[in-house]
Amino acid sequence: MRTPPDTAAAPGTFLFDRDCGFCQRAVSFARDRVRARSRFVAWQDADLDAFGLTPDQADEAAWLVYADGRRFRGGDAVAEVLVHGRPLTRPVGRMMRLPLLRAVNRFVYRRVAANRHRLPGGTAACALDSRPGPA
């Protein structure tokens, strides 16, 4: 069953890659250490049409989608999760929204995403280039 975009109880739904060990560890960190109030759902279990996303978009980057339809991709999604976390992470998330730091954040996110199979918790399944294309 696909998870609908019910974000009323949480400040947004964070969509991540269930097949990526690094992504799973990052989500666990966000839940346990950051104590983010966002809802975390593997994109493979979500109703992507209801979120306004395609499987290719969801596979390419993490997303945070608010109930009002606003969508944040990659590093911007991470910043939004931090804004809704513990009091100490909120200023970090807000700073990551500033223009210069947002550019740095997006660059770092792209580098991490491209190399997530090499990072702790990463596996060969995490590599974006090795994934089969749509049928």
Report pLDDT for 129: 56
What mean pLDDT is predicted for residues 65-84?
A: 96
Q: In three state form, how does the secondary structure of the chain look?
A: CCECCCCCCCCCEEEECCCCHHHHHHHHHHHHHHCCCCEEEEHHHECHHHHCCCHHHHHHCCEEECCCCCEEECHHHHHHHHHCCCCCCHHHHHHCCCHHHHHHHHHHHHHHHHCHHHCCCCCHHHCCCCCCCCC
- Residue carrying the six token digits 């666990």: 28
Place of tokens 């989500």: 27
| Beta-carbon-side half-sphere exposure of residue 26 (alpha carbons within 13 Å) | 27
In the chain, what are the domain boundaries?
13-122
* Cα–Cα distance measured from residue 2 to residue 14, given in angstroms and rounded to the nearest whole number: 15
Q: What is the pLDDT of residues 78-123, one digit of tens each?
A: 999 999 999 999 999 999 999 999 999 999 999 998 888 777 665 6
Contact 40, 27 (CB under 8 A): yes
pLDDT at residue 38, rounded to an integer: 94
Task: Give the global pTM.
Answer: 0.82
The pLDDT of residue 21 is: 85
- pLDDT tens, position by position, 10-58: 789 999 999 888 889 899 999 999 999 999 999 999 999 999 999 999 9
Q: Is the pLDDT of residue 126 over 90?
A: no
Check: CB of residue 117 under 8 Å from CB of residue 22.
yes
